[in-house]
Amino acid sequence: MKKHLVESKAAYLINSNVGKINNSMKKVLFIAQVFFIAFLVSCLEFDNSIGVTTSADLRPADGSVLPNEIMPGDTLLLRRGMSFALLGALRIPEGSVLQIEPGVTISAAGGQPPSLFIVIESGAKILAEGTDDEPIVFTASDETPGAWGGLIIAGKAPINIGNTAIAEIGDVVYGGQDPNDNSGVLNYVRVEYTGSSINSEREHNGITLYGVGNGTKIDFVEAFFGADDGIEIFGGTVDLSHVVCVGSQDDQFDFVQGWTGNVSFLYIQQVDDPTYVQDRGIEGDNLSSDNEAIPFSNPSIQNVTLVGFSSADNEINADPDAIRIREGAKGNFNNILVRNYPGSVMDVRSLVTLENLGNDELVFSEVFFEGITTSPFFMLDNGEPNLDTDLLNNVENKLNNAISSEQTTGAGFELWRGNFARLP
């Protein structure tokens, strides 16, 4: 009996000590966890403006090189007034955000110009919100057109080349069935010296919008001195306002593939230099392979000023038109002021486009032109049947009736130019 009592007491002491050891270990583990969490918090910064947590590694220091990509769900934050180098392609994948604060400058340098670009993929966002005094500038160390690619944004809004497509530049998928898709914000943003060429058929633009939806906000943006188009829109429903395109060596503003958005206040200016190749002010297409593809390109573009120079020639030594609409496009163009564009004030081509004009699905109104700009022009494409007399007369009357005898206000550029816009 005594032996059993001794054994029981020994067992009790052992179990008691084990419990104390376990409790001590739990305390140690708890303290370790607290320190570990504190360490993690010290490496993170909460960004109240978009409600995400940003790793210190994704808040690069002033003067640093931007990464080539970030992980899905991450936010790359470029802080106010800082400058960064772009040495390759920066990809923002679906679910991620590129947030850029006022006064940031991103400068492309080194490498092959076609490989220097920024692409916001479908489902990702760019939040680039500058101010008039502190615009966000995408530029290049080599201040010549074509020194780098440009800014590419892809979205999930409808296009007319299929439900989705792969972009000719950036190799991103774009398009879908969401007209309200939101790719973020561009506000007081300028892109410069863009337009590098991959080959004769694939060229970057200043800002390229692929299937971007009207949930995206684009206001006060400029494309300055690019080697291809200033701004080109491939389908989608996105709206733009207060847009400046200056010195683009192809078209200043271009749309295709069923874009159905709006532009209000568009200022376009050529370069007064006979050695500087440049083309049309506005070029609009539906789809070259099927002029009747739906949705039709059918934007509303109003309050526009186009300033040209007699010295301007395009790459085939022809006089660039102020506005050329073709390949089945529709649209409404109102309050247009054209000064000194070397070619036609309005050039309308392709049978489907002319039929749209005759049916009031392509409308020009309050168009004023002065200087060397010539009268409206229209023509069929090669191989298309001749217009019947009624349509011929109707088209001619529509274009002539669009011309205003009194000067229109156009873009009213002087009222909103501010400090963000750059002119030669």
pLDDT tens profile 346-378: 999 999 999 999 999 999 999 999 997 788 999
Answer whether residue 35 is part of any domain.
Answer: no
Residue with tokens 């392609």: 89
* Reported confidence tier of residue 383, pLDDT bands at 50, 70, 90: confident
207-210 vs 197-199, strand pairing mode: unpaired
Q: Residues 74-81: contacts with CB within 8 Å, 24+ apart?
A: 75/47, 75/50, 75/99, 77/47, 77/101, 78/104, 78/106, 79/104, 80/104, 80/134, 81/134
Q: Check: CB of residue 375 under 8 Å from CB of residue 344.
A: yes
Select the more confidently predicted residue: 313 or 424: 424
Domain match, 307 and 269 both:
yes
Domain match, 307 and 235 both:
no
Average the pLDDT over each of 106-115, 290-299, 329-338 and give the range with the smallest value.
Answer: 106-115
Q: Check: CB of residue 367 under 8 Å from CB of residue 345.
A: yes
The tokens of 392 are what?
């011929």
Neighbour count for residue 261 (Cβ, 10 Å): 25
Domain match, 315 and 204 both:
no
Cis? peptide before 158, omega within 30° of 0? no
How remote is the C-alpha of 237 from its chain's centroid? Answer: 13
Answer whether residue 397 is part of any domain.
Answer: yes
pTM equals: 0.87
Q: Check: CB of residue 92 under 8 Å from CB of residue 126.
A: yes
- Give the pLDDT confidence of 71-92 residue by residue, as tens digits: 999 999 999 999 999 999 999 9
Domain match, 224 and 268 both:
no
Give, to the nearest 10 degrees, the angle between helix 389-402 and helix 351-358: 70
The CA distance from 15 to 258, in Å, is 78
Answer whether residue 88 is part of any domain.
Answer: yes
The CA distance from 9 to 213, in Å, is 78
Domain match, 237 and 349 both:
no
Q: Check: CB of residue 387 under 8 Å from CB of residue 280.
A: no
Which of 229, 279, 275 shows the shortest CA–CA distance to 256?
229
The tokens of 200 are what?
């004769």
Domain with 308 in it? 261-424
Domain match, 272 and 380 both:
yes
